[in-house]
Amino acid sequence: METDELAARIRAGERRALARAITLIESGRADHRAQAQALLDALAATPGSALRIGLSGTPGVGKSTFVESFGTMLTGQGHKVAVLAVDPSSARSGGSILGDKTRMERLSRDPAAFIRPSPSQSALGGVARRTREAVTLCEAAGFDIVLIETVGVGQSETMVAEMTDLFILLMAPGGGDELQGVKRGIMEMADLILVNKADGDLKPAAERTRADYAGALKLLRRRPQDPDGFPKAICVSALQEAGLAEAWREMQALAAWRRETGHFDARRAEQARYWFAEEVRRGLLARLDHDAAMRTRMARMGDAVAAGEIPVARAAAEMLALLGTAP
């Protein structure tokens, strides 16, 4: 299919065209890459305006259940919801975090929703780039809310926070010492903490956990992108569909405030800058790692350095000059 036709079909909201385009951007083939680039260029003229929401949480905390009930609530309100995943471990586990479609039975059959599992690829940088491009495609296809799910592994949370407008942390009720287990850096990224499973026997523990997180959030350095009272911690039950409307109200209030105060657009601009620099860096590294001539030169230069024939700094400067990046 021609790029223009594919672009037109995506703009018309055709899900099969969207799925096909995402497959194209996930491909490692050079000709596919060129096509994907052309497609993204073609769609850049009609930028979408989706609210991008990042969702993270440890395995078993209830992410899939939450996406199912929260997503279904949103489509019930007339929204079009796309769900994407950043899962650096999917290659290892052989599946994807969205593979459990049984937990998203309603949403996966919902005509107003689009669910895309994480590509099975281990390089987080590659997954992140593809997810970011998939967001663009989903927006062009008319989805006004894009949920990006990630499991709390390594840098994946940072990546997702760098491509979303709101970052939500899903937590489980605990016995009081779970706060220690949460890395400070992750707390600092959160716009909203949702303590899930606030139902049945777990309800009192969930409320205590919520209070603990609320207290911890207050101790963090105040961020310019937050109005009074944010970041917030609230209780939800994804299973019983409780607290979801409140969670959505808080997300909307925060997004509206950021839009009014310019923080929303400023953040998007910052993210564009971040990913641009990241792509250039990745491109340079790819040349070092995959360009056969460069690899040979690296090996030879390495030998020369090891033999004491050339000082480290001079050898490095020569390599960088070859890459066209000499200072």
Ligand X SMILES: Nc1nc2c(ncn2[C@@H]2O[C@H](COP(=O)(O)OP(=O)(O)OP(=O)(O)O)[C@@H](O)[C@H]2O)c(=O)[nH]1
Q: Which entry of ligand X, Mg ion, none binds 140, CB below 5 to 8 A by partner kind? A: none
The residue (of 9 and 103) whose beta carbon lies closer to ligand X is 103
Instruction: Kindly report the backbone phi and psi dihedral angles of residue 109, in degrees, each rounded to the nearest multiple of 5, phi listed first.
Output: -100, -5
The residue (of 57 and 231) whose beta carbon lies closer to Mg ion is 57
Residues from 275 through 294 that contact ligand X (CB under 6 A): none
Instruction: Report if residue 53 touches ligand X, rule: CB under 6 A.
Output: no
d(CA 23, CA 130): 10
The residue (of 131 and 237) whose beta carbon lies closer to ligand X is 237
Find the largest Cα–Cα distance for the chain: 71
Residue 257's nearest CA partner among 269, 243, 267 is: 267
Instruction: Report if residue 185 touches ligand X, rule: CB under 6 A.
Output: no
CB of 186 to ligand X, least distance (A): 15
What burial letters (b/e) apply to 264-283, b meaning 16+ CB within 10 Å? beebeeebeeebeebeeebe
Instruction: Report if residue 237 touches ligand X, rule: CB under 6 A.
Output: yes
Among 56, 64, 72, 90, binds Mg ion (CB under 5 A): 64
The residue (of 48 and 62) whose beta carbon lies closer to ligand X is 62
The residue (of 35 and 96) whose beta carbon lies closer to Mg ion is 96
| Per-residue interface string for the shown chain with Mg ion, residues 80-99, x marking contact by CB under 5 A | -----------------x--
CB of 103 to Mg ion, least distance (A): 6
State the angle between helix axes of 3-11 and 15-26 in degrees (0 to 180), rounded to the nearest 10: 130
The residue (of 136 and 164) whose beta carbon lies closer to ligand X is 164
d(CA 64, CA 61): 9
Q: Which entry of ligand X, Mg ion, none binds 61, CB below 5 to 8 A by partner kind? A: ligand X
Residue whose structure tokens are 């949702």: 194
Instruction: Report if residue 60 touches ligand X, rule: CB under 6 A.
Output: yes
Residue whose structure tokens are 């969670």: 247
Contact (Cβ atoms closer than 8 angstroms) between residue 127 and residue 85: no
Q: Count other C-beta atoms under 10 Å from residue 13's C-beta.
A: 14
Instruction: Report if residue 55 touches ligand X, rule: CB under 6 A.
Output: no
Among 48, 54, 62, 231, binds ligand X (CB under 6 A): 62
Choices 193-201, 257-265, 275-283, 294-302 (CB under 6 A): range interacting with ligand X: 193-201
CB of 194 to ligand X, least distance (A): 10
Contact (Cβ atoms closer than 8 angstroms) between residue 115 and residue 98: yes
Cβ-proximal residues to 105 (8 Å cutoff; 6+ apart), any chain: 68
Instruction: Report if residue 151 touches ligand X, rule: CB under 6 A.
Output: yes
Beta bridge partners of 32: none
Binding site residues, Mg ion, CB under 5 A: 63-64, 97
